[in-house]
Amino acid sequence: MNKYRVYALIYGQTLPVGIIQDCEIKEMSFEEQTKRKLSPIKYEFLQEGHYETYMTSVPFVDPMKIYSKYVITCDIEERDYKGALGGAIKKFDKVCSTLFLSGIRDTYLKHNQHSGETYIYQINKVYLIDKKDNECDVDLDLKSGYIYLPNRPERNEWFNKDTEEFMNKVFNFKDPVFKKALKYLYGSSLGHLKLNSPEKIALDHFKSVELIINCFSKKDNFKNRVNEAGTELDLTPEEIERIKKYWDDRSNGDIAHSTYDDPVSFYPNQFPEPKGMQYNWSFSDNLAKKILLNYFDLRNRFFLIDVEKPYEQKEELTLGLINNDCNHLFFQTNTETKQELLNEVKKKFIDEFGLDKKDFKIEFYNSKFQISVLLSKGIELDLDKITLRRTRIF
């Protein structure tokens, strides 16, 4: 075991100089800081010679720069400097959180207000302490660790000829649920590379699933909603159970809800600090991707039609498109009988788009003023045939 001394700049409204537990806060001039070469801890990007193109990332980036005349120090015995850094972080976190709460109480007793500024620190130096208690510089060899997806791109053409057409459909798709779910899932896929917290990565991954599930069912319990939505999304019973496991993991492990359990408190000191996560789906799961694709296919085949009276008396049945909505049409008719309405819309779809009656299912959606049409798989509508268009004003 080696003895290390860790220095960090500290910043806060009230800084009591002296010993706090096994740490010490003391004043240090800018001249002394320059002499000691205090500088924020940072990783460097590894230069990889085996691959022509690649991605790499660092596990820790400090986005701040503190200018302070006060430092907090602690001595710690560890096997290496990374253990010393991890142990110092635990100590400094405890001191600063204690100062934070003490400042709140101190302000309340003085001004009768529960206010108070936060306390923050930034590690700037690690020394190895020799047998004579001298501070010896330590070379922090902090390099990016992993190589991701080397030698990309693998190709310049898609495997399937229709992928470019699919890409254009996604780009122009207007469904807000799909766009938000895609944003969450894509964000989760990038989270590790962007140093997002594990909690955010997990939540983004689950939100992409949850958002789609919730639009299919109004039941109070999420697991009951999964049962209902799973059928619509063409999921297997095993996949439905996996989504419920997502929910359990998301709701535990200090991700979406608080828990007093902290498994990392028993880990050896290390740097960067590990997180007590119990949600591993975002890194290796394909089900969320399947759900998003299945939802896109289903929503692409689903049309909502507003039934309304024509502005002027005429015999011709009018079918129009609402430009800024996803597959949202309007149908103008004087007919009020439900079955006659369905028959009129069905005939209009057959005549307008050249469909067969077996190509789609039609029914009332929420009321007699809205009708839904669900196309069979593989059937598409050419909406360019609709010449009457308008923009919905929100």
pLDDT at 297: 96
Mean pLDDT along residues 6-19:
97
- Kindly report the pTM of this predicted structure: 0.83
How far, in Å, CA of 136 to CA of 51, rounded?
A: 37
367, with CB counted inside 10 A (0-12, 13-18, 19+), is exposed
Token look-up 């009988």 returns 337
Mean pLDDT along residues 129-151:
89
276: tokens are: 């007590």
pLDDT at 385: 84
Q: Name the least confident of 14-28, 74-88, 275-289, 377-391.
A: 275-289
Fold of the 301-390 domain: Conserved Hypothetical Protein Mth637; Chain: A; (3.30.1200)
pLDDT at 62: 87
pLDDT at 254: 58
Instruction: Decide the pairing of beta strands 23-27 and 70-78.
Output: antiparallel
Instruction: Identify which has the larger pLDDT, 189 or 146.
Output: 189
pLDDT above 60 for 260: no
For the stretch 17-63, pLDDT in tens is: 999 999 999 999 999 999 999 999 988 887 777 888 988 888 888 88
**DSSP letter at 69?**
S
How far, in Å, CA of 362 to CA of 392, rounded?
A: 23
Mean pLDDT along residues 76-103:
95
pLDDT at 279: 55
- For CATH 1.20.120, the residue range(s) in the chain are 161-298
Whats the size of the chain, residue-wise? 394
Pick the CATH number of 161-298 from 1.20.1630, 1.10.3470, 1.20.120, 1.10.3720: 1.20.120
Mean pLDDT along residues 96-125:
94
How far, in Å, CA of 39 to CA of 221, rounded?
A: 51
pLDDT at 190: 87
Most confident of 119-128, 325-334, 362-371, 382-391: 119-128
Average pLDDT, the chain: 88
Task: Give long-range contacts, CB 8 A cutoff, 24+ apart: 272-277.
Answer: 272/59, 272/60, 272/86, 273/86, 273/89, 273/90, 275/197, 275/198, 275/199, 277/198, 277/199, 277/202, 277/253
Residue 96 near residue 12 (C-beta atoms within 8 A): yes
- For CATH 3.30.1200, the residue range(s) in the chain are 301-390
pLDDT band at 374 (very low <50, low <70, confident <90, very high): very high
Instruction: Identify which has the larger pLDDT, 61 or 371.
Output: 371
Percent of the chain exceeding pLDDT 70 equals: 90
Q: Give Cα 83 distance to the centre of its chain.
A: 30
Mean pLDDT along residues 198-216:
91
pLDDT band at 284 (very low <50, low <70, confident <90, very high): low
